[in-house]
């Protein structure tokens, strides 16, 4: 593997800051992560160096950067991969030092974990090793035959993992998703909560391998062996290859299921579907024909496939493995129908445990793609199949509210939580909110006119103090007569009477829509 090969791994999102032909074609022999000021004695020729740049500060300028890069050049490092998180960007002094010493410099964005880079390098190396001519495999012949047979018969991941490691005494090993969900584990492996699993993947004490398939950032698999001495790297690579073939089969099956779910969602979007057609569509998705149901909508701001994968991963986190179907709405929005359990559940439950569970799970998914926040909207419980169309409308409205309320962070908004005017207005499409604000506030929206801005601020203060002239005057440090004069001007410009409650509400709503 060469430095330029590492830059081509789009999942890592690396950015070349400096490097020319000779530097980019250097072969990588390994990876060392360090924040020592002088790491020379820990480096070997050909290694790429990962550094969070904790050792550097702006006050130290070019001199300290020169010493660090000179040490890398002396040791024969292939490249420096510098993290942006500590300083917000790679310092210019470090760029200049790398140019001076001829060391390729690559920026690592905050959302790219150093462990992912290490895994990518070593997995590629082990892959190259397995492709070299060899008259033997790391896995014994009988184990390879058994695993091939199990793959052909559709065995689950737990069976494959158990049989792959049985001849080694079944060491503690997990198969985890990128969001910390346990897909499978050997009997010796401890139970891990999602948070514990993510800590193992991000700060491992064992060996972590990403299963190389077309899975997304939400549902990719990682093989985690707790004790690095329990199995040689090449054997782990061969097991990862078996699990990759299994996951590819699952992804192909999921694509077919997604199309059936898409047909169900199209039926719900078009109109109130007739009972027989709706129940047939539910059966096609392997869902019960009777409720209760939840309807969940999601979007990442890019395209539907990752959002659909994110919804599926979120629902697989739920305890009890409830049945669900994930597809795409006609406008490209991802959506899921989730069955909640026994149809004889109370008509008005005191709490919504599934909604609470999804709300708790959501940050695990949002953290995977900080540059494309994951937004979700959850409709109220649909007691019957015939209520699903209404639940879909609610979920889509809640999704719009989620996008409006936290456009950069992502999050899950539930219809049941929309109990204020502000929450209700957040779900109104932006174009509609803008039109309502412009029409209701009229000339007060002219931001180029200082007097109009003053009047708008006075109106906001007046409504914030519940229409109290005295408190408004006190808050603005004005005489009450001045407040009266300004409010008269506002009434004249907007055509509203502030003595009327409905007119006050109109103006308040318009301000909340801004």
Which residues lie below 8 Å from residue 473, measured CB to CB, with a gap of 6+?
479, 480, 482, 483
For 441, list phi and psi in degrees, rounded to 5. Answer: -85, -20
pLDDT at 417 > cutoff 80? no
Do 161 and 73 fall into the same domain?
no
Quick count: other Cβ atoms within 10 Å of Cβ 369?
A: 19
Whether the full predicted model's pTM is greater than 0.85, yes or no, is no
- Total residues found in the chain within this entry: 514
pLDDT in tens, 319-328: 999 999 999 9
pLDDT at 209: 87
Strongest mean pLDDT among 53-57, 295-299, 304-308 = 295-299
Quick count: other Cβ atoms within 10 Å of Cβ 204?
A: 17
Instruction: Write the burial class of residue 479 (CB in 10 Å: 0-12 exposed, 13-18 middle, 19+ buried).
Output: exposed
CB 28 within 8 A of CB 43: no
Do 53 and 185 fall into the same domain?
no
Domain range spanning residue 153?
138-250
pLDDT at 79: 94
pLDDT at 70 > cutoff 70? yes
pLDDT at 132: 43
DSSP 167: G
Do 7 and 101 fall into the same domain?
yes
pLDDT in tens, 35-67: 788 887 778 788 899 998 988 888 877 888 999
pLDDT in tens, 75-122: 899 999 999 988 889 999 999 999 999 999 999 998 888 878 887 776
- In 3D space, the residue among 295, 316, 433 whose CA is nearest the CA of residue 376 turns out to be 295
pLDDT in tens, 151-189: 888 899 999 999 999 988 889 999 999 999 999 999 999
Do 294 and 402 fall into the same domain?
yes
Does residue 266 fall inside a structural domain? no
pLDDT at 281: 92
Q: Is the peptide bond before 353 cis (omega within 30 degrees of 0)?
A: no
Do 356 and 485 fall into the same domain?
no
From CA 352, how far away is CA 34, in angstroms rounded? 47
- Over residues 498-503, the mean pLDDT reads 88
From CA 322, how far away is CA 319, in angstroms rounded? 8
Do 319 and 440 fall into the same domain?
no
pLDDT at 123: 64
- Over residues 260-287, the mean pLDDT reads 88
pLDDT at 133 > cutoff 80? no
pLDDT at 346: 47
- Over residues 317-344, the mean pLDDT reads 88
CATH at residue 373: 3.30.70
What is the dihedral sign for C-alpha 300, 192, 203, 18?
A: negative
Break the chain down into helix, strand, coil percent, rounded to 5: 50, 15, 35
From CA 108, how far away is CA 79, in angstroms rounded? 12
Do 468 and 368 fall into the same domain?
no
Among 30-39, 347-356, 437-446, which stretch is predicted with the lowest mean pLDDT? 347-356
What is the dihedral sign for C-alpha 398, 282, 317, 173?
A: negative
Q: What is the mean pLDDT of the chain?
A: 85
Number of domains the chain contains: 4
Of 392, 426, 460, the residue at which a domain comes to its end is 426
- In 3D space, the residue among 374, 378, 375 whose CA is nearest the CA of residue 354 turns out to be 378
pLDDT at 110: 87
pLDDT in tens, 202-220: 777 888 888 888 888 888 8
Angle at 415 between CA 335 and CA 463, to 5 degrees: 135
Do 385 and 481 fall into the same domain?
no
From CA 232, how far away is CA 207, in angstroms rounded? 10
Do 335 and 360 fall into the same domain?
yes
From CA 219, how far away is CA 308, in angstroms rounded? 11
pLDDT in tens, 134-148: 445 678 888 889 999
């Amino acid at each position: 593997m060469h430095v330029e090969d590492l830059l081509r791994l789009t999942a890592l999102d690396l950015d070349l800051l400096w490097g020319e032909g000779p530097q980019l074609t250097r072969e990588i022999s390994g990876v060392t992560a360090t924040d020592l000021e002088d790491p020379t004695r820990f480096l070997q020729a050909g290694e790429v160096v990962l550094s969070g740049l904790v050792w550097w500060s702006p006050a130290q300028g070019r001199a300290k950067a020169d010493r660090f890069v000179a040490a890398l050049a002396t040791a024969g490092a292939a490249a420096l991969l510098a993290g942006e998180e500590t300083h917000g960007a790679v310092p210019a002094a470090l760029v200049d030092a790398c140019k001076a010493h001829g060391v390729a410099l690559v920026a690592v964005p905050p959302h790219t974990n150093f462990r992912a880079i290490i895994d990518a390098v070593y997995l590629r190396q082990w892959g190259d090793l397995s492709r070299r001519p060899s008259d033997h495999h790391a896995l014994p012949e009988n184990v390879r035959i058994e695993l091939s047979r199990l793959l052909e018969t559709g065995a689950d991941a737990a069976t494959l993992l158990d049989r792959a490691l049985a001849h080694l005494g079944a060491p503690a090993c997990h198969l985890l998703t990128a969001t910390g969900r346990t897909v499978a584990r050997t009997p010796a492996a401890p139970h891990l909560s999602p948070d514990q699993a993510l800590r193992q993947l991000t700060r491992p004490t064992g060996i972590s391998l990403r299963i190389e398939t077309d899975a997304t950032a939400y549902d990719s698999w990682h093989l985690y062996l707790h004790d690095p001495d329990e199995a040689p790297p090449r054997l782990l690579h061969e097991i990862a290859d078996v699990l990759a073939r299994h996951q590819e089969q699952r992804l192909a099956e999921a694509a077919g299921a997604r199309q059936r779910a898409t047909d169900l969602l199209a039926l719900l979007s078009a109109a109130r579907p007739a009972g027989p057609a709706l129940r047939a569509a539910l059966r096609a998705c392997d869902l019960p024909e009777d409720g209760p149901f939840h309807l969940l909508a999601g979007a990442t701001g890019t395209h539907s496939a990752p959002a659909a994968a994110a919804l599926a991963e979120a629902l697989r986190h739920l305890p009890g493995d409830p049945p669900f179907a994930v597809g795409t709405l006609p406008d490209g929005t991802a959506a899921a129908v989730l069955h909640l359990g026994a149809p004889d559940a109370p008509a008005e439950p005191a709490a919504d445990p599934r909604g609470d569970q999804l709300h708790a799970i959501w940050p695990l998914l949002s953290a995977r793609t900080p540059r494309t926040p994951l937004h979700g909207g959850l409709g109220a419980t649909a007691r019957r199949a015939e209520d699903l169309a209404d639940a879909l409308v609610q979920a889509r409205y809640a999704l719009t509210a989620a996008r409006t309320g936290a456009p950069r962070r992502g999050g899950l908004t539930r219809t049941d939580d929309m109990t204020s005017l502000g929450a209700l207005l957040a779900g109104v499409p932006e174009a509609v909110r803008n039109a309502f604000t412009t029409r209701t506030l009229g000339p007060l929206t002219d931001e180029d006119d200082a007097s109009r801005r003053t009047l708008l601020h006075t109106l906001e203060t007046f409504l914030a103090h519940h229409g109290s002239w005295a408190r408004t005057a006190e808050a603005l440090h004005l005489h009450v007569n001045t407040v009266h004069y300004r409010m008269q001007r506002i009434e004249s410009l907007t055509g509203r009477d502030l003595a009327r409650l409905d007119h006050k509400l109109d103006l308040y709503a318009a301000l909340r829509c801004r």
